[in-house]
């Protein structure tokens, strides 16, 4: 049978596998297989040309047993409800694993922002948040930036939501600019959190990161920060990088500034001084650490047996499919799960929300220190859970799932939902 790559089906398969390991109550298992609320909105936007264009958007609240929904907003031409549902499910487990007081949610709009002017983008952002405004809020569901959205877009959305309610509601969304009470340390928090996980995983595996060769797939927000931080924090050598336009490989290491210059022209494929490679070829390189930081479904049944990295650090959401997971595990290649590795973003979003609610703001050093404490604790929880189930030989992902699902199920039971 061909491997199923539908993201929501993957999320359900992962849940089912963990539920079997846990002997999860059948009632709560059934409830957790589907989101609590899925909203599709169709809304018109008056473009700067004077024409009116119709757009479709989504917002999914997967589970709020442990607190308000939490999850980003994607602007992408290929956005669809199944991807949003999967990401909302993964956000549920991510927040539970980090043990922060949120449930999981996600949103998106089908749009190619590269074809839009800033004026049109602002109009779209404001109209989308107005369309889902009755479903989100600081104590209901708190959005954040994601693919092709940014702090400026969050600022427009916060302003529009505040206008709707007749008062400032900055706590309704995170990832805002500092001028509108965003948090210090938020912009690079996903990558910083991933580096803390890498540090702990390297200690566990007795890997010398100073001598490590690293390949990074993706040069977006998480990928380009990971490229910079893995060198600055550990002295590792990044030998390969790629983006949607192609990639480059250099055994002697890549220059960060030159990569930025190449990206500014369009793609890291324009980098001079290395060998051109594809995204697929990057995954097969003989490196110590492979960091998928692009999109889902990159390591699959078709290529998992070709991966030669000693460790996979999943900075993207869902980059490894269930069948690939099994292949990597059988080959002895640890894959640090996405909802642990990339949880730094939502952890610092929680900090931002808490600061907005309290009106008391922290320094960048406070933010990084608290992030380190939470994500290191989560890593150790996963390692301990994996050891407890060693007789069943479960991987780190399933260990993380048993923790997260257990916490959500406990909250549901305490609230009398089953």
Active site residue 106: yes
Of 106, 176, 263, 310, the active-site residue reads 106
Helix/strand/coil for 53: strand
Backbone angles phi, psi at 33, to 5 degrees: -80, -15
Whether 12 and 393 have beta carbons less than 8 Å apart is answered as no
- List the strands of the sheet with 141-145, edge to edge: 37-46, 52-63, 104-110, 69-76, 141-145
Taking CA atoms, 367 is separated from 71, 364, 405, in Å, by 20, 5, 27
- Angstrom distance (rounded) from CA 215 to CA 309: 9
In which region does residue 181 sit, left (phi positive, over 0), alpha (psi from -120 to 50) or beta (all else)? left
Q: Measured over all CA atoms, what is the biggest interatomic distance in the chain, rounded to whole angstroms?
A: 65
Whether 345 and 183 have beta carbons less than 8 Å apart is answered as no
β strands within 359-418, DSSP E:
none
With residue 40 as reference, give the H or E element that holds it.
strand 37-46
Please identify every residue annotated as catalytic: 106
């Amino acid at each position: 049978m061909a491997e199923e790559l539908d993201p929501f089906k993957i999320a359900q398969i992962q849940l089912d596998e963990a539920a079997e390991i846990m002997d999860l109550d059948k009632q709560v298992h059934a409830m957790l297989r589907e989101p609590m609320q899925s909203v599709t909105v169709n809304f018109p936007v008056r473009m700067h040309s004077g024409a009116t264009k119709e757009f479709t958007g989504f917002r999914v609240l997967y589970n709020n047993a442990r607190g308000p929904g939490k999850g980003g907003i994607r602007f992408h031409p290929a956005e669809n409800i199944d991807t949003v549902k999967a990401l909302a499910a993964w956000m549920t487990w991510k927040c539970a694993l980090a043990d922060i007081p949120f449930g999981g949610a996600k949103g998106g709009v089908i749009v190619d922002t590269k074809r839009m002017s800033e004026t049109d983008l602002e109009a779209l952002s404001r109209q989308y948040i107005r369309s889902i405004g009755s479903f989100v809020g600081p104590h209901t569901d708190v959005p954040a930036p994601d693919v092709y959205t940014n702090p400026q877009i969050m600022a427009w959305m916060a302003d529009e939501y505040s206008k709707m309610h007749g008062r400032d509601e900055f706590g309704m969304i995170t990832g805002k600019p500092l001028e509108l009470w965003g948090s210090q340390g938020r912009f690079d928090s996903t990558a910083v959190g991933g580096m803390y996980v890498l540090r702990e995983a390297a200690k566990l595996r007795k890997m010398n990161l100073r001598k490590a060769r690293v390949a990074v797939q993706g040069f977006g927000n998480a990928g380009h920060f990971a490229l910079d931080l893995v060198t600055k924090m550990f002295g590792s050598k990044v030998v390969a990088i790629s983006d949607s336009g192609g990639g480059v490989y250099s055994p002697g290491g890549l220059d960060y500034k030159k990569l930025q210059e190449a990206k500014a022209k369009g793609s890291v494929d324009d980098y001079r001084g290395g060998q051109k490679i594809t995204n697929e070829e990057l995954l097969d390189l003989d490196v110590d650490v492979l960091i998928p930081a692009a999109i889902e479904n990159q390591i699959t049944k078709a290529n998992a047996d070709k991966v030669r990295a000693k460790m996979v650090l999943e900075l993207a959401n869902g980059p490894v499919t269930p069948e690939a997971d099994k292949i990597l595990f059988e080959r002895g290649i640890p894959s640090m799960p996405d909802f642990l590795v990339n949880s730094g973003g939502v952890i610092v979003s929680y900090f931002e929300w808490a600061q907005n609610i309290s009106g008391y703001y922290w320094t960048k050093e406070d933010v990084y220190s608290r992030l380190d404490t939470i994500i290191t604790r989560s890593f150790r929880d996963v390692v301990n859970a994996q050891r407890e189930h060693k007789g069943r030989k479960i991987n780190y992902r399933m260990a993380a799932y048993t923790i997260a699902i257990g916490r959500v199920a406990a909250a549901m039971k305490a609230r009398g939902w089953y």
